Structure 1
Amino acid sequence: MCPRQFGPYLLEEVLGVGGMGEVWRARDTRRERLVALKLLPENLNGDPEFASRFRRESHVAARLREPHVIPIHDYGEIDGRLFIDMRLVDGRDLGDLLGEGPLPPHRTVALLSQVADALEAAHADALVHRDVKPSNILVTPTDFVYVVDFGIARSIGSTRTSLTITGATVGTLDYMAPERFTDQPIDGRVDVYSLACVLAQCLTGRRPFRGEDLPALLYAHLYVDPPRPSELVGACPRLWTR
């Protein structure tokens, strides 16, 4: 593929495509470095509410000094397209790793404790991720973790966003806290809930709730207790409480 120009960036290779945009390996011609460049969907260009929050929360994420938050070099809009310029990481996302099966409990704890550190730092700065899921967790060959896409996810229950099954929501619903399905205010607890869903999947190799559409998943999150990981995987130790 021939590189194409996007402002000062040369887009060299697509690294990933999802409901909230494309990630490219790109060359920043101003600083002569390779970066991961996220281009948000064009249909968000006409949403001033989202664009305002995107800039505000990208600014907060860019100034966080927590090592497990992906470093953000730049963000903004070029030719009407919102973008984020991030560090290019040599690694795989957690969803890719889980495609090979569940992780040992000790490795799960080691990885997700780093995610928890990133979320704790963000919450201390009043920043809620909103979209904690395996594909937003990058794991390097040495098992160092980066959390990406702070502030990008839409508030599904807001009055400006309809609850429809699109590419932007299908991958997220499996990890979405119940209050995200409503119009009530959200805080860092939605990220804690999502991280618990990721924890269950790491230990068992399967999503915590079964369901392929919005009604089924909404009902499950609201009313169904997920199975204990120790009931699904023999190598997973039981949690003893007194």
Structure 2
Amino acid sequence: MKIAIMQPYFVPYIGYFQLVKAVDKFVFYDDVNFIKGGWINRNRILIHERPAYLNIPMEKASSNKQIIEISVNYDSKEFRNILKTIEINYKKAPHFEAVFDLLVGVFKKPYTSVADLAIESVLMIAGYLNIKTTFLRSSLSFPHTKSFNQTERLITIIKELDGMVYINPIGGQELYAKSNFDKKDIELQFIKSENIIYKQGGKEFVPWLSIIDVMMFNSVEQINQMLDQYELI
């Protein structure tokens, strides 16, 4: 059983979905502290053919609050303009209609927190891409582990899911030692994306944008081929 545990990100880049597809069970780590300047409430798309941030405005966001404690600011002009921004900049893309309809489905629902919105964006996109991974939320399935230290909590969650392999983004090499997981009979692997290039709307290709950009310019079949372009270290 392969497990991944990650904070929920809003319409994340393709590497996030490579991790999702690579495992049997994916846990949204939604009851940890919010990270300012991270990817929980934002990602990049092409705006006027240049990379720019698409943000989910929040109310009283703080790194002292858990992700599930931070509300979306529905009244802000920025939130109301999100779909319009996407439409204006991608309406000529070959897969615009299907992808835009999906995004409308994400935004038409009310959410208690930014975590809920980010999670729904991942779930709906995973469904669109026919990814069969099982999803869980740490706040719902593992609240009893919140008092544990970081490594202990991860190991406990993996064990409770009968996991034998824990796959982490490549950046996790700086955070986690394989020896700590080996002691608990868990193989720690790191996923490293290969260079992914596709025909894009801009004049010069911009890599690692939101999955929105990938979906606008590629079919589901093409994207699934890209999702397998990685190595495990």
TM-score by length of 1: 0.27
Higher relative contact order (CA 8 A, sep 6+): 2
TM-score by length of 2: 0.28
Q: Which structure has more helix as a fraction of its residues?
A: 2
